[in-house]
Amino acid sequence: MQRVALHAAMQRVALQGRHLLSFSPSRFLSSHHMSTDAQAAIARLRDSGLLKSKGLVGGKWVDSYDGKTVQVQNPATGDVIANVPCMGKRETDDAISSAYNTFYSWSKRTASERSKCLRKWYDLIVSHKEDLALLITLEQGKPLKEALGEVSYGAAFIEFFAEEAKRIYGDIIPPTSSDRRLFVLKQPVGVVGAITPWNFPLAMITRKVGPALACGCTVIVKPSEYTPLTALAAADLALQAGIPPGALNVVMGNAPDIGDSLLQSTQVRKITFTGSTAVGKKLMAGSANTVKKVSLELGGNAPCIVFDDADLDVAVKGSLAAKFRNSGQTCVCANRILVQEGIYDEFANALTKAVQNLQVGNGLVEGVVQGPLINEAAVEKVEKFVNDATSKGANVILGGKRHSLGMTFYEPTILGNVNSEMLVSREEVFGPVAPLLPFKTEEEAIKIANDTNAGLAAYIFTKSIPRSWRVSEALEYGLVGVNEGLISTEVAPFGGAKQSGLGREGSKYGIDEYLELKYVCMGNLEA
């Protein structure tokens, strides 16, 4: 039965195959590991040409030079869905050369030409949204509907920066003497190395590549080894959109080797990274030798503060969204829910009711809103944090253990009476655990909220406008949601304070990260 389904899927792939040369069924369909569900899912791809099993270097789809591959697994089932090249230094060096050689011509194109290519890329992403969402769910695990949301979110960065490409204005400065004219030019920084995470396989790429390409930079993307298929599909659409070979390269596999190659190269002028604080610090240190421009979007420890005067429904809905998006696997997920004494019981009960309704399972199944965690190590970490909290006095209100689905699934969990000493409060959980920390006063809440080295996102729930302003201003965070749990958008600056990062992504500010200012002084004009 499995074989029949596999055969049917492959036939369909062959019939629809747009890029047959780069499509190698054995790279994708390992009948030993692949469930019939996953085969059927792959067969649902409308454009099978989007399935790529090679890296992209200089516009060519290439294997690793030593033929080594890495497996891509579906976290919901453990099925191997693809084998992609395990690339390293040599492939990355070639990708860098290619990006470097393309930089001159791409940056010399007019803003309008670059904008048109990006707009076309946006249109192609949108017209392939179902396929991209399917790939995201298959390799990352998030529910299909949420994956579709990510595609729209990711595409929006390309659209936004296609528009911004035409608005990179310099300045004319009033001169200090009458025979001079002073200008500021904004020019692309050069070749960019973009290292992206698995939790948003598309959006974290477009948020970096959109502004980079818009202003004339060329890019080497290193997607997570867990989620390369979405990156490769997006890159394929970029080629189709007319983004020239070499302007966007994708290498994956041996992360330390790829990272070293990007860091050591004098041709790479910028590193942009989303991921853990520990790796971000290494990249920052590694960039020092060649003095690269760096943007980092690192870990968070988001407080979500529910005041007594909050609208209960709004607070529950907002906290639920802020906590359980992507099964708790985002850098902006509420990590600690601080609840004022007067509303604590009511809020805990209402949140529990809401969380009980979250259906857990394979993201391909209709109605599922909580997918798996990315791997078993992630589940072990969540387990460790929950055990630590309960051993120090927290009580399990809901969940608190692995899900009966096994493997990578953990029950949506609520912990009560958590305090700031527990691991769940001090470190980023990155899982479906909502720790409730009771507090008495606004001052106390602000103190607890700011008592961390992280400073990415924070949320507050209150009906008081003066309190909204006061607390928003007092929070040492890059993003604050007031009575909102989902605040990320392409039009607003995303980024952290303290050790949560450097620089901003999205919005009119996001493009500055890829630009260099050049001051031009024109003198002796009266000579």
Residue from the set 488, 499, 500, 507 that interacts with ligand SIN by CB under 6 A: 488
Q: Judged by CB, which is closer to ligand SIN: 331, or 418?
A: 331
Q: Judged by CB, which is closer to ligand SIN: 5, or 331?
A: 331
Closest separation between CB of residue 326 and ligand SIN, Å? 8
Instruction: Point out the catalytic residue in the list 159, 164, 297, 490.
Output: 297
Q: Judged by CB, which is closer to ligand SIN: 102, or 330?
A: 330
461, β-bridge pairs: 306
Residue 507 in contact with ligand SIN, rule: CB under 6 A: no
Give the contact letters, 444-473, x = binds to ligand SIN (CB under 6 A), - = no. Answer: ------------------------------
Helix, strand, or coil (residue 336): strand
Number of residue whose CB is nearest ligand SIN? 488
Cα(100)–Cα(118) distance, integer angstroms: 20
Number of residues near ligand SIN (by CB under 6 A): 9
Residue 200 in contact with ligand SIN, rule: CB under 6 A: yes
Closest separation between CB of residue 222 and ligand SIN, Å? 16
Closest separation between CB of residue 300 and ligand SIN, Å? 8
Q: Judged by CB, which is closer to ligand SIN: 115, or 329?
A: 329
Residue 199 in contact with ligand SIN, rule: CB under 6 A: yes
The strand ranges marked E within 58-178 are 60-62, 69-73, 80-85, 171-173
Closest separation between CB of residue 205 and ligand SIN, Å? 12
Q: Judged by CB, which is closer to ligand SIN: 137, or 199?
A: 199
Q: Give me the amino acid identity at 208.
A: K
Cα(372)–Cα(297) distance, integer angstroms: 24
Task: Please report, as residue ranges, which positions from 208 to 227 form the binding site for ligand SIN (by CB under 6 A).
Answer: none
Task: Give the CA count within 13 Å in the CB-facing half-sphere of 415.
Answer: 32
The verdict on whether 297 is a catalytic residue reads: yes
Closest separation between CB of residue 95 and ligand SIN, Å? 24
Q: Judged by CB, which is closer to ligand SIN: 254, or 274?
A: 274
Task: Please report, as residue ranges, which positions from 291 to 350 form the binding site for ligand SIN (by CB under 6 A).
Answer: 297, 330-332
Task: Please report, as residue ranges, which positions from 259 to 298 form the binding site for ligand SIN (by CB under 6 A).
Answer: 274, 297
| Token pair in block for residue 127 | 């017209």
CA distances from 194 to 123, 272, 340, 463, 495 (A): 23, 5, 41, 41, 16
Helix, strand, or coil (residue 216): coil
- The residue whose two tokens read 């598309």 is 202
Q: Judged by CB, which is closer to ligand SIN: 400, or 431?
A: 431
Rounded to the nearest 10 degrees, the angle between the axes of helix 465-474 and helix 442-450 is: 30
Closest separation between CB of residue 371 and ligand SIN, Å? 15
* Contacts by residues 13-22 (CB-CB < 8 Å, ≥ 24 positions apart): 13/42, 13/43, 13/45, 13/48, 13/51, 16/45, 16/46, 16/47, 16/48, 16/49, 17/48, 17/49, 18/47, 18/48, 18/49, 19/49, 19/52, 19/61, 19/236, 21/61, 22/52, 22/53, 22/54, 22/61
Cα(59)–Cα(248) distance, integer angstroms: 8
- Count the Cβ atoms, other than its own, within 10 Å of residue 354: 17
Closest separation between CB of residue 330 and ligand SIN, Å? 4
Terminal Cα distance for the chain, rounded? 87
Residue 82 in contact with ligand SIN, rule: CB under 6 A: no
Phi-psi region of 501 (alpha: psi -120 to 50; beta: other; left: phi over 0): left
Enzyme catalytic residues: 297
**Contacting positions for ligand SIN (CB under 6 A):** 199-200, 274, 297, 330-332, 488, 494
